[in-house]
Homo-oligomer: A and B are copies of this chain.
Amino acid sequence: MTALETMRAIIVSKPGPPSVLTMSHLTLPEPAAGEIRVRVHSFGLNRADLLQRLGRYPAPLGSPQDIPGLEHAGVVDALGPDVEGIAVGDRVMGIVGGGAYAEYLVTAAAHVVPVPEGISLEYAAAIPEVFITAHDALERLSVQSGEWVLVHAVGSGVGTAATQLIHARGASCIGTSRTESKLAQARELGMKAGVNTANGEFAGKVLQVTQRGVDAAVDLLGGAFFPQTLECMAHRGRILLVGLSAGTKAETDLGTVLRRRLTIEGTVLRSRSDLEKAEAVAAFRDAVLPDLASGRLVAVVDRVFGFHEVVAAHEYLESNRSFGKVVVQVG
């Protein structure tokens, strides 16, 4: 290894539209103790990447500040000191605080899992963020068999993962989307009922379908939708805020929260401590990965772009046309 070794990476040259994403040559990163270097095959796009590109969501401390990318699949290329149970050449996938839009990245060994045999690396790149997030969400919500669970933006990556995991728990998923065809696709993943929110209204329909309201909600929208989400909740219902695509501010009826004894919890994966991330990854590996390996659960890949097409990939994700994940193949 010499100081001259470099890699290609996509950086945010300045805050702005997709065109600010620029191919650069950077020094190859070196793994420290407990870390591995991964030669990235593919990475998944996340809405957080769009916000980061706009300068509205800085990378967490300790992560590359200018290279976006929260998840990856690839091949282990080098090991730092004190890494056990993993070898150069292993196929892995995992989550990072940033830096996946690159040919190589360095990550804690505890933040990757093996890619099961028979799963391609571009498919694997669509798995970590959405399945770790969705599994973690259902655990936090303590979703039980027989419950109704509202999933906003059911056609998003997290939505498609949550739909399947809710169904696998014996609970009933009611999903929202502005696009009828996405609701149809979500039904094939196990969604029990769908509500089209194109006209902005959904609470009435949710209450009509579920009668008593929903026991839990995976909220990827927040903002202007939040008052209606509260209305949808059954007595002692739990809301997990996972994303805020519809805005960060909401007029909240605390009277409803109090009377129905609701719980609202905010969660975010990206900024968690290394230890907490390792715990979430381990929980995913134990509880979800076997079902991905067997095909009982599926990652939904809408489209795979080339490394040089990352601008188009961002434009596509921003268009809200995708169902499931948008992936970029690096190598």
Residues of A in contact with B (beta carbons under 8 Å apart): 222-223, 226, 241-244, 247-268, 271
Given known A-B contacts A261-B265, A266-B260, A251 and B249 have beta carbons under 8 A apart: yes
The SS class assigned to the A binding surface is mixed
Beyond A249-B255, A254-B266, A264-B264, 7 additional pairs, beta carbon < 8 A: A222-B254, A248-B254, A249-B254, A257-B266, A258-B268, A263-B263, A264-B265
By the criterion CB–CB under 8 Å, are A258 and B254 in contact?
A: no
Alpha-carbon gap, A223 to B253, bound state (A): 9
Taking CB atoms, residues of chain B closer than 8 Å to A260 are 266
Taking CB atoms, residues of chain B closer than 8 Å to A255 are 244, 248-249
Taking CB atoms, residues of chain B closer than 8 Å to A262 are 265-266
Min CB distance A272 to B, Å, is 8
Alpha-carbon gap, A41 to B66, bound state (A): 71
List of 7 A-B pairs having minimum Cβ-Cβ separation, nearest first: A248-B255, A257-B266, A258-B266, A252-B252, A264-B264, A222-B254, A263-B265
Alpha-carbon gap, A241 to B256, bound state (A): 11
By the criterion CB–CB under 8 Å, are B252 and A261 in contact?
A: no
Taking CB atoms, residues of chain B closer than 8 Å to A267 are 258, 261
By the criterion CB–CB under 8 Å, are B250 and A254 in contact?
A: yes
By the criterion CB–CB under 8 Å, are A268 and B264 in contact?
A: no
Show 29 A/B contacts (Cβ-Cβ < 8 Å), sorted by A. Answer: A222-B254, A222-B258, A223-B254, A241-B258, A242-B258, A244-B258, A248-B253, A248-B254, A248-B258, A249-B251, A249-B252, A249-B254, A250-B252, A250-B254, A251-B251, A251-B252, A256-B266, A257-B266, A258-B266, A258-B267, A258-B268, A259-B271, A261-B265, A261-B268, A262-B266, A263-B263, A263-B264, A263-B265, A264-B264
